[in-house]
Structure 1
Amino acid sequence: MAARSYGQYCGITTAAELITERWALLIIRDLLVGPRRYTDLNQGLPKIPTNILAARLKELQEGGVIRRIPIPKCGLVYELTDYGRDLEPIVLALGRWGFRSMGDPKDDDIVTADSLTMALRTAFRPEFASASLDFQIQVDAVELRAQVGGGELRVVQIAPPAPPVGGVLPGGEPELKFATGPDLRHLIAGTLTPAEAVKQNVVRILQGDLTSLERFTTLFHVDS
């Protein structure tokens, strides 16, 4: 449990004391993608001081949110407990809520593989996912492969090299491959159409066509 106490007997207070210390939610965000070693978490959160990372991991363990377990060929990893995984719909809802206030990125803001994965999960609309889509997305040095089918989204990290506990998708070429940047949010919010996004170089289609990109915008949308 974090040292800070609000001194109130309330479920919201308890939640705030457990998960709202600086960096705690981002650690939880990354662990929602999958188990991570200490080094994976440190690399995915490059601005976090190592003493703060160690402290947050200890607090989250003591709060029953995460646990540390051995995995063959990986060593010790951190993963969410069942109690911690109950945070997933809350974190995704927070992501959708925060999307409306993101604005333009600062010069030193970065996109990580885990943050992009969670952004896709935040914007994913399973109610429109009866049709399939296999796509690959590049944002600067980050590259992900994703597949939509049967109302589900699966994402794996291609670059930078994925953690050893990452998932694997079936092989073959994706039907859509595109490169983009932070302005992708305009496409996801619907303030740019796919055709406008391509024309304005917000999206560069590397493989596939505009029809596939239009299907992407049907599957991934967050109100601005």
Structure 2
Amino acid sequence: MKKRAYQDGCAVAHALDIIGDRWAMPIMRELMLGPKRFTDLRASLPGISANVLTQRLEELEAASILVRRRLPPPAASQIYELTDWGRESEILFQVLGRWACRSPTMQPGQPMSNVSVILSMRTMIDRGRIGDMSAVIGMRFGEEEFRGTLKDGDFTIERGEADGADAIFSGDQNALVAVLYGGLRFDDVAGVLTVEGDRGLAERFVRLFPLPPRAPSTVTPETTAS
């Protein structure tokens, strides 16, 4: 069945035509740090069915946002990856993320994928707090590793080996989220998140991601009841 379009000349309306369907943006998010197989995408998006994932991948491919290709032997598996233009959409995720985290109805504590956690740090980093910090931060979540660099007042993080970093977080990515954004201390998540290396650096690092204040709610108990 052909998708319904807004038939509106506004570029924002066109953006919604191509990425406004349910699951389109989470799929793009999961590919932001590099290509993935179909099974990897399903594992990182547990709420999506195989049929819906297939449909969204086909639609995003038709929109030139992603491409699929087959790896050479011995892997010989099919992967999906964003096009250069598709990767440019990261700014959309950052703007939407900063805006949505102020929502008075956003519920904390919802699970986040590994990629979602990494992109959240790219989004929420307060570069004004970095100062003269210069360090390498490693992260191990399951079978995935990431390597971040604090240098010259900036912060970058990509997939990469955690070994050799000045401080390394290992374990449950959602435990790190609870420390970064939920106000928990490392002692509160002991057993599910470990910190190797410079503990003082790790403590300073997790304070670089302040959340903005929530927007005021306009909903009253009377409004909800009606």
Which of 85, 88, 107 is the matching residue for 1:86? 88
Quote the residue 1:211 is aligned against: 200
Q: 1:54 to 1:126 in 2, by over 3 A?
A: same
TM (norm. structure 1) is 0.73
Report if aligned partners of 1:121, 1:153 keep a CA contact under 8 Å in 2.
yes
> What are structure 2's unaligned runs of at least 5 residues?
214-226
Residue pair 1:180, 1:202 contacting (<8 A) in 2 also: no
- How many angstroms apart in 2 are the aligned matches of 1:117 and 1:170? 14
- The one-letter amino acid of 2:164's match is G
CA distance in 2, matches of 1:58, 1:39: 15
Structure 1 pair 23/200, CA: closer, same or farther in 2 (3 Å)? same
Residue of structure 2 in register with 1:20 after alignment: 20
Query: 1:189-223 deviations in whole A, cap 9, x for unaligned?
Result: 5x74xxxx338715765334552133213543332
For 1:142-183, what per-residue CA distance to the aligned partner results, in whole angstroms no more than 9, with x for missing partners? 864432133342243xxxxxxxxxxx3363354243667757
Give the aligned CA root-mean-square deviation in angstroms: 3.2
Matching residue within 156, 175, 179 for 1:153: 156
| AA of the residue aligned to 1:169 | E
Structure 1 residues 99 and 202: CA distance shift in structure 2, 3 A:
farther
Cα distance, 1:42 vs structure 2: 1.5
For 1:155 and 1:129, locate their aligned partners in 2 and report how far apart those are by CA, in whole Å: 21
Q: 1:116/1:199 Cα in 2 relative to 1: closer, same or farther (>3 Å)?
A: closer
1:1-224 to structure 2, matched below 5 A, reads: 3-72=3-72, 73=75, 75-101=77-103, 102-105=106-109, 109-126=110-127, 128=130, 131-137=133-139, 144-150=145-151, 151-156=154-159, 168-169=160-161, 171-172=163-164, 174-177=166-169, 182=174, 187-189=179-181, 192=183, 197-198=184-185, 201=188, 206-208=195-197, 211-224=200-213
* Cα distance in structure 2, aligned partners of 1:35 and 1:6: 31
Q: TM-score normalised to the size of structure 2? A: 0.73
Distance 1:137 1:23, change over 3 A: same
Give, as a single letter, the amino acid of the residue that structure 2 aligns with 1:171: D
Which one-letter code corresponds to 1:60 in the other structure? L
3-state DSSP class of the match of 2:56? Answer: helix
Distance of 1:103 and 1:138 partners within structure 2: 26
Cα-to-partner distance string for 1:80-117 (whole Å, 9 max, x where unaligned): 11221121111122122222333233xxx433222222
Tell me the amino acid that sits aligned with residue 154 of structure 1. I
Letter in 2 for 1:44: S
Aligned residue pairs, count: 204
Q: Is the 8 A contact 1:2 1:21 kept in 2?
A: no
Aligned residues of 1:136 and 1:143 also touching (Cα < 8 A): no
Note closer, same or farther for the CA distance 1:113–1:58 as it changes in structure 2 (3 Å cut). Answer: same
